[in-house]
Chain A
Amino acid sequence: MRKSWLVAVALMTAAVATAAFMGTTGPTAAVGADHLDAPGLTPPGGDLRTDITDVYAYRAKSGRTVLVLNVNGLTKAGRQAAFASSTPAVRRTQRVVYNLRVDNNGDARGDVTLAVTFGRPNAGGVQSMVVKRNGKTIVSGRTSAFGDVRVNRSGAVSAYAGMRDDPFFFDLNGFINILSTKKDESFLGCKGSRPDAFKGTNVSSIVLELPAAMLTRAGSSAIGVWATTNRGGVQIDRMGRPAIATVFIPNNPFEAKGTEPSQRNKYNASAPASDRAKFRGEVVDSLRTLFSLNDESGDNKSDDAGKISGLANVLLPDILTFDTASSMGFLNGRRLADDVIDAELALITEGAATTDCVKRNDKAFANAFPYLAAPHA
């Protein structure tokens, strides 16, 4: 339940709804000069390099804060990491920026922005990278070649970007079959262990470790974190807690004509500060349905409305709340090993589903920076 599903949805939306083919001016037909001869097929789903799959924030053993921004989900083993440098329009080229945004006074607005930008890849796929804090460079260097770990350091700040094993773990197929009554197709009521659909896949990962004081304000160790990808001034994608957009913002590509249009694009382009105003209705609607899953098993329905309202206020704004002084995990920030799916399932289904029976990642996490496991080769 995370953003890579959005990729998938985008993939299918594009594929189904929009002529994946453009067959366009293919021929060098009638005129030499004016034909375009561009390839026909538009691979759907947009640029996966700017599609955020997961955000992590936790306190490292060093006491510093670790922030992780992953993109390019479901990358096959052996591929070099790729980050977008810029995108072309007819009359300009816009920089692509990967942002980790931090609210440190509880108003759901960014007070500190860590902005990461990349250069064009060299022949080996390695890119230059720069990390700025509120516009000022704090560390710069290069991305890591596949399988290598190149740590870019400046003072107490460390930065890594490259291909890593995807730390996310989840029984995707069990979720696909969540309505199935056939034994073992769904994870509902599962015991023992079930398969991790993200086993063996990699992500392009940005990992930063820095003193919490660079993120917090004086007198408080509490922050809220979310990530965005931007093209020039335009926000392409964003993510805070795992799964919020996927589960709660209607994005069903197979919606029948005339039903409510998806708000996915609107959501991805929005800021957390307006989440309650714009999307609380969506979340409440969805929670009502999810809370009804346990009605037949004798749930006391009378307290649902109050619980739903409270939960909606926790889920929105979509920010990963994190006390930088605490080593606790999800819902306090998010550590790599946290089983966020189990935590969220129990929360949003009022206990109807409590686990997908995938307890851990397919690779062990490292003790040292950049913490994420080496990529599958």
Chain B
Amino acid sequence: MPRGLSTAAVALCAAAAVALLGGVLAGGPAAARPPDDSRLLGELLSGLETGRTADYVRRLDQQPRAAGTLTLLGLAYQQRFRETGDPSYLSRSERALREAGAGGLVTAGRAALAATRHDFRQALVLAREALRADPESPAALGALGDALAGLGRYREAFAAFDRMAELAPSIASYSRVAHARELIGRPAAAAEALELALELEPTVPEYAAAALVQLGRVYANSGRIGDARRAYRRALARVPGYVRAEAGLAWVEAAAGDYASSARRLRGVVDRLPLPEYAIRLTETLETAGRRAEAERAERLVEAIERLLRANGVRTELQTALFDLDRGHRLAGALARAREAHRAAPNIFSEDVLAWALARNGRCGEALAYSRRSLRLGTRDALLFFHRGMIERCLGRRAEARTWFRRALAVNPHFSLIWSPVAARGAR
């Protein structure tokens, strides 16, 4: 699987050859795309890991309006956000792509940006626009599927993922197939898809590491702590110090009851990649360990991170609602935010959070309908099962509640530092 530099170089030459031959055969000049873009993309494909944005910025100093460079810069900023969690890269990506003008690549990049910000309706519009330019664009199909899944239109989303995987076997497409398999309650099949993805030698080692982290999460969500730990370690072997794998290991440590190690590791993780998910886990780990003052500081960190995300156009209602609901804070406000999140992205996770918000506000009859909807794909997610159990209990149906608590624990006894003990008591 020769996707290294020399291959890219030969590939570029060969493409140029065919372009020329095309010119010969057409009896005219080979048309019209700036070869510089191809060269830049080749570079990006073969080597991009970190810090490449500086090169593009330097190039733009010399040629401020080079559309190709602006496009790549816009895309590279999205990768920088992946790597650093610094949401200002999203705004920078938006500016660069806007200045880059029109075109399939630009539009697909804007679609991906919208999906990253969880603005799925905008992502859907842009992905479709990109597909009009190129109906077989794997990038646009990925953004389309992400947008449709975000909007709860799973049948169409899965069709987009399938098409993408056919056209572009890759970690990007197979990891989406794996995600879909997890959604339909087939974690073993999700793990298989990820192992198949790992056989496709990636251009960038970070992609293999990311697939291994996703694999770790599939195992973790199934309560398979040892398998999860092994997957995270494989990721660290590919990319030493890979922060998402470190976060996974911290999760495993807390699940195993080693809160001190977990908190230590999570602090390092949050320093390097300040995503709310990690700060929330740190907060919960410290709370569980009884370190209240530190937990409060971590909680304020969560709020600061989310403010920063909002300032850069990322929707955060769902996450903040869940965080408050789990702590019993601002319950009415959390319900309003859950409704807002559900309006914007009516998928099974917003349905679940809305159900949980209604239940925490004592409106368990309404909650039940949303909980049912959140489970419509057959997803085997312990948290969704637990929420259902709490709703059943609230409705006075103790036997049903016990059944759902047991199901939650059967799927993953470590599903939540806060709620696993509650489920265990309720399952008795």
Contacts and interface: CB of A to CB of B under 8 A. Distances in A.
Nearest to A262: B22
A44 B193 CA distance: 19
B229 to A, nearest CB: 18
Given A18-B108, A39-B207, A34 B349 contact: yes
Interface size grouping (class) on chain A: 35 or more
Interface stretch (B140-148, B328-336, B361-369): B140-148
Given A88-B192, A285-B25, A254 B32 contact: yes
Interface string B91-119: 00100000000001101110011011110
Q: Which of B41, B140, B162, B316 has the most CB of A within 10 A?
A: B41
Nearest to B211: A39
A26 B24 contact: no
Contacts of A120: 195, 199
A173 B13 contact: yes
Q: Which of B169, B184, B210, B318 has the most CB of A within 10 A?
A: B169
B261 interface: no
A252 B45 CA distance: 21
Given A12-B38, A178-B24, A44 B168 contact: yes
B74 to A, nearest CB: 9
Contacts of B349: 31, 33-34
Contact of B1 (A16, A39, A49, A179): A49
A106 interface: no
A250 B24 CA distance: 11
Contacts of A364: none
A253 interface: yes
B30 interface: yes
Contact of B25 (A29, A49, A84, A250): A250
Nearest to B44: A20
Interface in A34-74: 34, 36-49, 72-74
A280 interface: no
Nearest to A50: B169
A49 B199 CA distance: 10
B380 to A, nearest CB: 13
A233 to B, nearest CB: 13
B158 to A, nearest CB: 4
B371 to A, nearest CB: 14
Contacts of A201: 2
B173 interface: yes
Contacts of A354: none
Nearest to B7: A74
Given A30-B317, A178-B24, A179-B24, A172 B31 contact: no
Given A16-B41, A41-B45, A172-B17, A23 B171 contact: no
Interface stretch (B55-63, B76-84, B293-301, B396-404): B76-84
Contacts of A49: 1
A89 B165 contact: yes
B228 interface: no
Contacts of A252: 18-19, 21-23, 26, 30-31
Contact of B206 (A34, A39, A173, A254): A39
B162 A89 contact: yes
A27 B309 CA distance: 10
A82 to B, nearest CB: 6
A4 B116 CA distance: 35
B177 A90 contact: yes
Contact of A20 (B45, B166, B199, B210): B45
B10 A74 contact: yes
A121 interface: yes
Contacts of A41: 44-45, 48, 79, 172, 203-204, 207
Given A24-B143, A29-B116, A88-B196, A72 B2 contact: yes
Contacts of A285: 25
A358 to B, nearest CB: 15
Given A18-B134, A82-B1, A289 B24 contact: yes
Given A11-B15, A37-B214, A41-B203, A24 B112 contact: yes
Contacts of B176: 36, 38
Contacts of A193: none
A246 B18 contact: yes
Interface stretch (B274-282, B406-414, B419-427): B274-282
Contacts of A29: 87, 116-118, 275-276, 309, 314-316, 319
Interface in B352-385: 352-353, 381, 383
Contacts of B381: 33
Contact of A27 (B15, B116, B350): B116
B41 A40 contact: no
B175 A36 contact: yes
Interface in A282-319: 285-286, 289-290
Given A254-B31, A286-B25, A20 B14 contact: no
Contacts of B118: 25, 29-31
B170 interface: yes
B275 A253 contact: no
B381 to A, nearest CB: 7
B33 to A, nearest CB: 5
A79 B3 CA distance: 11
A22 B381 CA distance: 27
B37 interface: yes
B13 A247 contact: no
Nearest to A248: B25
Given A29-B314, A176-B20, A93 B192 contact: yes
Contacts of A86: 196
Interface string A255-298: 11001000001000000000000000000011001100000000
A172 to B, nearest CB: 7
Contact of B10 (A8, A9, A34, A234): A8
Interface of A: 4-5, 7-9, 11-12, 14-34, 36-49, 72-76, 79, 82, 84-91, 93, 120-121, 172-173, 175-176, 178-179, 197, 201, 231, 234, 246-247, 250-256, 259, 265, 285-286, 289-290
Given A9-B14, A20-B41, 7 more contacts: A7-B14, A9-B15, A43-B3, A86-B196, A88-B178, A179-B24, A256-B32
24 contacts: A8-B14, A9-B15, A12-B11, A18-B104, A18-B105, A18-B108, A19-B139, A21-B44, A22-B112, A25-B116, A29-B116, A30-B309, A31-B353, A34-B149, A39-B210, A74-B7, A87-B169, A88-B196, A90-B177, A201-B2, A252-B23, A252-B26, A254-B22, A256-B31
Interface of B: 1-4, 6-8, 10-27, 30-33, 37-38, 41-42, 44-45, 48, 75-76, 78-79, 81-82, 85, 87, 93, 104-105, 107-109, 112-113, 115-118, 130, 133-134, 136-140, 142-143, 146, 149-150, 158, 161-162, 165-181, 184, 189, 192-193, 195-196, 199-204, 206-207, 210-211, 213-214, 244, 275-278, 280, 309, 314-319, 322, 341, 345, 347-350, 352-353, 381, 383
